[in-house]
Structure 1
Amino acid sequence: MDEKKRKLVEELIKEDTGDVRILNKYEHALVMFVGVSWAIFQLLIASVWTLDSTFARSIHLAFAMAMIFLSVPFFKKKKIKALPFLSQREGIPIMDYVFAAIGVATALYITVEWNGISMRMGSPSLTDVVFGVALVVMVFEATRRAVGPALPAVGILFTIYGFLGPYLPDLLAYKGVTLDKYVSQLSLSTEGIFGIPLRVSTNIVYLFVLLGAMLDKAGAGKFFIDLAFAGLGRYKGGPAKSAVVASGLTGLVSGSSVANVVTTGTFTIPLMKKTGYPATKAGATEVAASINGQLMPPIMGAAAFIIAEYVNVPYIAVVKAAFIPALVAYITLFYVSHLEASKLGLKGLPKEELPNAKEVLKNGFHYLIPITWLVVELMVLRHSPAMSAFRTIIILIFVILYQEIMKVKKEGATFADAIKNSLKLTAEAFVSGSRNMVIVALACASAGVVVGLVATGIGSMITELVDAMSHGNIYLLLIITAMASLLLGMGLPTTANYIVMASLTAPVIVTIAQNYGFFVPLMAAHLFCFYFGIIADDTPPVGLAAYAAAALADADPIPTAVQGFIYDMRTAILPFMFVFNPDLILHHITSWPKIIMIFAMAVLGSFAFASALQGWFLTKNKWYEIPFFLFTSWVLFNPAGILHWLHLPTNMKYYMYFIGLGVFALLYLEQKMRIKSKPAMAA
C-alpha cells in the first residue's frame, strides 16, 4: 500500500473515531478528562446511581456535544484562507470552546429547569424557546461534524415541512406545527431529541460500545483474526473464509463497518491477494463481511436495543428474531468465498504460514471470558442488557489487569507497573469508547427530531402517501421502502438510518399490508428497515467501508463497492423472505426441531440464491440452470409461496421443502455428471 492510500486509511479511521485534531498536552488532557468522565458517569448510572431518565439523557447528550466540538473542526477537509480556524486541526480554536459550552448548556437546560418546564408544559417561556431552538441547532451542527450533512439535512427538511404543512397542496398538506409546539415537542419533552433513541443510547448502547472499545484496546481483535486463520487458513480460499469469520467475531462487539474493515482487513486483504484473489474481490469480501458484522447479535450495531423499544418486546426477543437471518447471511458469505475460490482455482495458505491454534488459544483464552460471561448474563440468567454489559465490563477490567500482570512477569517488571499499565489502558479504552459513542449519541438525538415531528401528524400523511404510491401492492411497497433505506443510508450511519426509516415506514408496512389482507409482524417490518440500512453502507457511490477496503487492497473504490454490493445481494433477499415467511424470524415458533429445520432450509435456500448470482455451483452454471436455482431458493425460503399454485391447504406448507430439496438435488446430480463427462469428452 503506497503512502497516499495509507494516509487515506488513516484519515478514514480518524473520521470514524472522531480523533481528528492534533492536541497539545493540556488539550489532550481535557479531552481525556471528558471521555473518562463520560464513561464513569455511564458506569455509575448503570450500577449505584439512581438518576431520572430524562436527566441522564440530558447529561449523556452534553458529553457527546463536548466531545465532538473539542475533537472535530467545523470543516474536516475544506480550508478557508480567510477563516483558517474553521478547519484548524492543530489545537482547539476559541470558537469550538464556545460551541462546546453552548452545546453543553442547551443539552443540560432541561435538567436545570425541569421543574419550571413541567409547570408550563405546552406553553414555553421565551427562555425555553431560545434554549430549545438553540438545542436543535447545536444538535444538527454536532451531528454534521460527526456523521456528515445528510442527517441534519433530513431533520431540516422535516422542520420546514412541519412549519409549511398547512400551506402545501392537499396531497402533502397536514396541520403543521407552531414554534411553541415545535420547541415543546423536540427540546422540552421526551418525544423528540430526548426520546426513545437517546434513552436507549444512554441506558444501554454506551455500555456495549465501551465494552467493544475495551476488548479492542486489550487486543481481542488480533486474537479473533489469529483464531480464524488458525482454523480456516489452510483450506481453499482460506484467507477469505478467515476474513468472514474474523469480521463476524469482531462484529459481535463492534458497531462500525469502517472500524471492522480496518481492524480485520489490514491482515486479511493482503493474504487474500497473496493466494490469488484479485484486489477488487479481496476488498469486496472484507467489506461484505465487515458490514454484516452489524447483523450479528448481541449488539447489531446498537440497533437491537432500539428495535426492542420500538416493537415493545424484551431484548432477548430481538436476538431470537435476528439470529437465523444473521447466521444465514454469514454462512452464505462463507459459501460465496468458497465459490469464488473454486472459480479462481485457489488454494489455502501453507501450514507454516498460519498461527498455531493451541498457541493462539493459550495466549488469548482470557478474551473469551468476558464474551462468554456476557452471553451467560443475557441468554441464561436473563439479566437486563445494561446490567449484563456493566458486569462484563467489570470482569474485563480484571482481565486487562491479568493480561498486564502476565506481561510484566515476562519483562521482569513489578506488580505496580502492571497496575499502572492496566489503569492507563483502561483510561484509553474509556476515551476510545466515548469517541466511538459520539456518532451513535448524536445520530439518535438528530433522528429524534424526525421522530418527534412524525408524531405531530406527519406519520398518518406518510401512510396515505405510500399507500397511493404502492397502490396497495405489498411487493411494490417493500421495494419502495428498500430503495428509500438504501438512498438514505448512503449518508447516514446504520443506527440513524434505521431510526428514521422505522419511524416513517415500519408502521406503514404493517398497516397497509393489513388493509389488503396480508399479515406482516411488526418485528419483520423493523428488521426489514434495519437490513437495508446496513446494505446501504457499501452501496455505490458512497460506502466509506468500501473506500477503506479499496485503500488496503490497492484497488479502485467504486468497483470494490459494486462487487461488495453484489456479494451483499444474498443479504438483500433475506428481508423480503422473512416478510413473506415470518418463520425465518421464529415468529410464534418455539419447537427446537422446527427451528433447526427452518434454519437448515434457509441456509440451503440462500446457497441456491448465491449459486445463481455467482454463476457457479459445482462448476460453471448453464444459463438454463439459473431459473431452477432461483426456484429452489424461493421454495426453501418460503415453502408456503407455492401452496396456492398447487391448490394445497396451509398445513402442507413444510412438505413443500421436499420439492425445493428435490430440485436442488437434481441440479447437484446434473452438474456432477457434467464434471465427470468433461474428462471423457477431452479423451
Structure 2
Amino acid sequence: MVEVKPKQALPATTWTRTLFLVALAFASFQVVTAAFHPLSSQVLRAVHVGFLLVMVYLALPASGQCLPARLAGWVLALAALATAAYQWVFEADLIQRSGDLSSADLWVGILLTALVFEAARRQMGLALPLICGLFIAYALLGQHLPGSLAHRGYELDQLINQLAFGTEGFYGTPTYVSATYIFLFILFGAFLEQAGMIKLFTDFAMGLFGHRVGGPAKVSVVSSALMGTITGSGVANVVTTGQFTIPLMKRFGYGAGFAGGVEATASMGSQLMPPVMGAVAFIMAETLDVPFTEVAKAALLPALLYFASVFWMVHLEARRAGLSGLPREQCPDPWAALRQRWYLLIPLGILIYLLFSGHTPLFSGTVGLALTAIVILGSALALRVSNGKLRCAFWVALGLLCSGFFAMGIAVVFAVIAALVGLCAWHRGSRATLRLCLQALVEGARHAVPVGIACALVGVIIGVVSLTGVASSFAGFILGIGEKSLFLSLLLTMLTCLVLGMGIPTIPNYIITSSIAAPALLELGVPLLVSHLFVFYFGILADLTPPVALACFAAAPIAREKGLTISLWAVRIAIAGFVVPFMAVYEPALMLQGGGVLAVLYVLAKAALAIGLWGAVFTGFLTQPLGLWERLTGLVAGVCLVVALPWSDSLGFALAALVVAHSLWRARRLP
C-alpha cells in the first residue's frame, strides 16, 4: 500500500462539515418540496437522485481518504448534480422530444447510468449492480437468445431513453416513493430517535417484561416491535436497540448466538409492523394503486403473529434453559418512563390518526414530522418554565395549537416551527435542542441514502422488464407449475426471494420478485395484495437466512459472535413465522382480504395455534421437554392447520389437542 503524506489529506473537520452541510441541504430540500410542491414530479426525482449520488461520492471515496480520491469524489459529485440540473433546465425540451434523444441527451443518460451503478457498488457491494448489469445485457443482446426468452432487439439509445429519461427507469416509481414518502418517514424516525424515543421504548419494555422468565430476550422483542412503529428499518433497529438488549441477554445467561439471533429476528419484523412499516410498503401501495392504509391493515395480523411467534420461541427457550429474568428492583418503572417522555407519543399518535383517516402518506408524514419538531422544541421551552401551572398551561396551548394544524395548513406548521426555533435561539440553554433538530435532519438524510440508491438502481430492472416483457416468460413457468400444485408455485417464489436476498436488499428483492411472480400468483387465484405481501414477507426473512444474512452480520460485532452462527439461530427462532405467509395465501382472511369477523377470528386462532406448535417442535419444549413422537405429531398438526383442506383443520386440531394434553399430563405427574 502506498503511504499517503499528511499534506495530501484534506482536514477531517472540513470534510465532515462539508458532508454535514450537504446532508442538511438534502433534508431541507425534501421537507420544502413535501410541504409546498414547487417542482414537477420529474424534476423532484432527478434532484433527489442527484443528492443521493453526491452524498455517496463525498462520503465513500473510491480508495481511502487521500486527496486524489477525494478530488475524484468531488468531480463525480458535481457530475451527478449536472445530470439533475440537465433534467431541470431542459425539462420542457426533454418532454417535447421524448423518445428521440439528442446526442447530448444520450451522453447525459450514459453518464447517469454509470454514476448510479458506481454509487450502488460503493454503497452496497457488487451483487445488485451485477444483477442489474445482467438485465442491461439482456436488453441489448436478448434477441440472440433461444425460445421464449428472445425479444425483438433494442438499440443503446432506446435503452438509455427507457432508463435515464421518463418514469420507467432510474426515475421510476421506487425513486418517486423514496423522494416523497420514504424520506419523510425516515426523517420522522430520526427526529424521534434523537429526542429519546429509543430510551422510552426500551425502558417501557424493560419495566413490563424484564423481570419475567426470559425477560432480557422479551425486552428485545417488544422494544424492536415498538421501534418498528417509527423506523421501518431492520438493520437500523439491530444497531440501535441491539446495543442495549444483546449485552443484557448475554449478561443473564443467553449465548451470544442466541442473543444476536433474537435481536436480528425481532428487528427485521419492524418492516412488517404498521403504521410506518418498511420502504417496500410504500412502493407496494404506489405500484398497486391502493391507499397505504390498505397495505398496513393487511399486514397488521401477520406482523402481530410474527412477533408473537418470536416472543413464544424466546419464552420456550428460556424455560428449557432455566433462564430467569432480572430482579424486579433493577427494572425501571414503565409508567414513570411514559410520564417522563409522554409528549414524544403525540406525533406518532397524530400520524396514525392521519394515515387511517384517509389522508395521503405524504401529507401525514409532513404533518407528523412538523409536529415532532414542534414537540421537541416546545418541550425544551416548557422545561424553562419553573411554575408548574404555567408549564401545564404551556402544554395545553401547544396541544390546542397542534390540533388546529389540520385546518390551518402546512404553511402554518412551518411558521410555528420557525417561531419556536427563534425562541430556542433566544434561550441560550435551548440551543442544544436546536442542534438536536439539525442533527436529526442530517441523520435522516444519511439513513435515506442506502434506500434511495437501491430504489434508483432497481429502476433498471423495472425499465428492462417493461421494455422487453420478460416477466411473461417466468410467469408462464410458474403458471405451468401451479396447474399441478399451488404449493409448489409458492415454494418456488419463496426460494426465489430467499436466494435473491442473499445478495441484494429488501427493496430490489421485492421489485424483482413481485414484477415476475406476483402476476402469476394472481392468475392462480391468489389476491393481488396477498401475493405482494407474500413476496415482501420472504424478502424480509431473506435477511435472516444464511449464508448472507445482513441483519445477523449487523448484530455480530455487538454480540461478538460469527454472523453465520447468529443466522442459524435466527432461522430457528423465526421458523414458526415462516408459516404465516403460506397460511395467508390459503386463508386470505388473515390479511383481511374477504370473509367476515368470524372468519378472521377463526383463521387468526388457527394461525396462533400453528405457530405455537411449531415453536414447541423446534425448541423441543412445551411444559416439559418433548419426545420425538410428540415433536413429529406437533409438526404434522401445524402443517395440517396451514394447508386448509376440508379435512386438514379437523386433523390438525385433533393432533394439537393430543400433543398439548399429553404434555400437560406429563407435567402434572412430575413432583
TM-score > 0.5, shorter chain as reference: yes
The one-letter amino acid paired with 1:114 is E
Find the partner of 2:43 among 55, 69, 72. 55
Provide the residue aligned with 1:425 in structure 2.
Answer: 436
Which residue is 2:638 aligned to? 633
Are positions 1:70 and 2:58 aligned together?
A: yes
Map of 1:174 onto structure 2? 151
Q: What does residue 15 of structure 1 align with?
A: none
Distance 1:369 1:495, change over 3 A: same
1:202 aligned partner = 179
Amino acid at match of 1:24: A
Counterparts in 2 of 1:282 and 1:201: CA distance versus 1, 3 Å: same
Q: Distance in 2 between matches of 1:89 and 1:256?
A: 33
Q: Helix, strand or coil for the counterpart of 1:177?
A: coil
Q: How far apart, in 2, do the equivalents of 1:404 and 1:91 lie?
A: 44
Q: 1:55 to 1:583 in 2, by over 3 A?
A: same
Tell me whether 1:642 sits opposite 2:609 in the alignment: no
- 1:671 aligns with 663
Cα distance in structure 2, aligned partners of 1:204 and 1:91: 37
* Partners of 2:611 and 2:638 within 8 A in 1: yes
Distance 1:470 1:414 in 2: 65
Aligned equivalent of 2:27: 39
**1:487 aligned onto 2:499:** yes
Does the CA-based 8 Å contact 1:404-1:421 persist in structure 2? Answer: no
Instruction: Report deviation, 1:406.
Output: 5.7
Pairing of 1:205-604 with structure 2 (within 5 A): 205-379=182-356, 381-405=357-381, 416-456=427-467, 457-467=469-479, 473-511=485-523, 513=524, 519-589=525-595, 591-604=596-609
Equivalent position SS for 1:537: coil
Question: How much has 1:171 moved relative to structure 2?
Answer: 4.5
Greater Cα shift, 499-508 or 347-356:
499-508
Does 1:609 find its partner at 2:614? yes
Cα RMSD over matched residues? 2.3
Query: Could you tell which deviates more after superposition, 252-261 or 625-634?
Result: 625-634
Quick check: 1:370–1:396 contact (8 Å CA) kept in 2? yes
Measure the CA separation in 1 of the matches of 2:585 and 2:537.
12
Cα pair distance change 1:485/1:417, threshold 3 Å: same
Alignment partners' CA distance in 2, 1:219 and 1:523: 35
Could you tell me which amino acid in structure 1 is paired with residue 30 of structure 2? Answer: Q
Deviations 1:520-551 (A, max 9, x none): 11111111111111111122222232123232
**Alpha-carbon distance, 1:278 to partner:** 1.6
Q: Deviations over 1:636-677 (max 9, x none)?
A: 445xx231x48xxxxxxxxx4x66444433322211111222
Quote how far apart the aligned CAs of 1:190 are.
0.6
* CA apart distance, 1:234: 0.7
Distance 1:164 1:91, change over 3 A: closer
Structure 1 residue 237: Cα displacement: 0.3
Letter paired with 2:227: T
Q: Could you say which residue in structure 2 is the equivalent of 1:141?
A: 118
**Partner of 1:26 in structure 2?**
14
- Pair 1:562–1:461, CA change in 2 (3 A): same
In 1, the alpha carbon distance for the partners of 2:327 and 2:20 equals: 44
- Opposite residue 556 of structure 1, the aligned amino acid is K
Distance in 2 (CA, whole Å) between partners of 1:497 and 1:384 is: 26
Give the CA deviation at 1:176.
3.0
Tell me the CA shift for residue 89 of structure 1. 7.0
Secondary structure, in 3 states, of the residue corresponding to 2:458?
helix
Residue type at the aligned position of 2:309: T
The one-character-per-residue Cα deviations of 1:221-264 (angstroms, maximum 9, x if unpaired) are 12111110011111000111110000111122223322211211
Paired AA for residue 520 in structure 1: V
Identity of aligned residues (%): 36
199-208 vs 661-670, greater mean Cα deviation: 661-670
- Name the CA distance, whole Å, in 2 between partners of 1:544 and 1:587: 32
**Structure 1: segments with no counterpart, 5+ residues:** 1-20, 75-85, 514-518, 647-655
> In the aligned structure 2, how far is the partner of 1:662 from the partner of 1:291?
34
Contact conserved, 2:502 with 2:543, CA < 8 A, in 1? Answer: yes
CA contact (8 A) 2:589 2:599 kept: no
Structure 1, residues 31-80: CA drift from partner, whole Å, max 9, x if none?
Answer: 22221222222222222234211111111111111111111122xxxxxx
Amino acid at match of 2:635: L
Q: Against the structure 1 CA distance between its residues 97 and 48, is the aligned structure 2 distance closer, same or farther, given a 3 Å change threshold?
A: same
SS of residue matched to 2:670 = helix
- Opposite residue 618 of structure 2, the aligned amino acid is L
SS at match of 2:278: helix
What is the CA-CA distance between 1:96 and the residue it aligns to?
Answer: 0.2
User: How many angstroms apart in 2 are the aligned matches of 1:472 and 1:271?
Assistant: 50
Q: Assess if the C-alpha contact under 8 Å between 2:636 and 2:652 holds in 1.
A: yes
Cα offset for 1:482? 1.4
Retained in 2: the 8 A contact 1:298–1:304?
no
After TM superposition, the structure 1 stretch with the greater mean CA deviation from structure 2, 487-496 or 441-450, is: 487-496
TM-superposition CA deviations, 1:88-114 (whole Å, max 9, x none): 278971100011011122234223222
CA contact (8 A) 1:220 1:367 kept: yes
Letter in 1 for 2:454: A
Contact kept, 8 Å, 2:205 with 2:334, in 1: the verdict is no
Give 2:92's match in structure 1, choosing from 94, 111, 115. Answer: 115
- 1:384 Cα deviation from its structure 2 partner: 0.8
Output one character per residue of 1:461-493: Cα deviation in whole Å (capped at 9) or x when no partner.
Answer: 222344567775322222222112112112222
Provide the rounded CA distance (Å) in 2 between the counterparts of 1:191 and 1:243.
41
The amino acid that maps onto 2:18 is L
Which whole-Å CA distance do the structure 1 matches of 2:483 and 2:425 have between them? 73
**What are the ranges of 5 or more consecutive residues in structure 2 without an aligned counterpart?**
1-8, 387-423
Letter in structure 2 aligned against 1:61: V
> How many residues are aligned here?
625
Conservation of the 8 A alpha-carbon contact between 1:401 and 1:418: no
Letter in 2 for 1:499: I
CA distance in 2, matches of 1:465, 1:126: 40
* CA distance 1:301–1:222, shift in 2 (3 Å): same
Shift in Å at residue 196 of structure 1? 0.9
Q: Which amino acid aligns with 1:247?
A: S
Q: Deviations over 1:171-219 (max 9, x none)?
A: 4322232112101111111111111111111121110000011111111
Check conservation: 1:107, 1:135, Cα contact below 8 A: no
Deviations 1:478-512 (A, max 9, x none): 2222112112112222122212221222223323x
**What amino acid does structure 2 have at the position aligned with 1:45?**
T
Q: Distance in 1 between matches of 2:68 and 2:24?
A: 20
Alignment match, 1:14: none
Separation in structure 2 between the aligned mates of residue 470 and residue 98 of structure 1, nearest angstrom: 52
Q: Distance in 1 between matches of 2:567 and 2:436?
A: 35
Task: Give the aligned partner of residue 618 of structure 1.
Answer: 623
> Partners of 2:295 and 2:76 in 1: how far apart?
38
Measured in 2, the distance between the counterparts of 1:179 and 1:409 equals: 66
Q: Distance in 2 between matches of 1:66 and 1:52?
A: 21
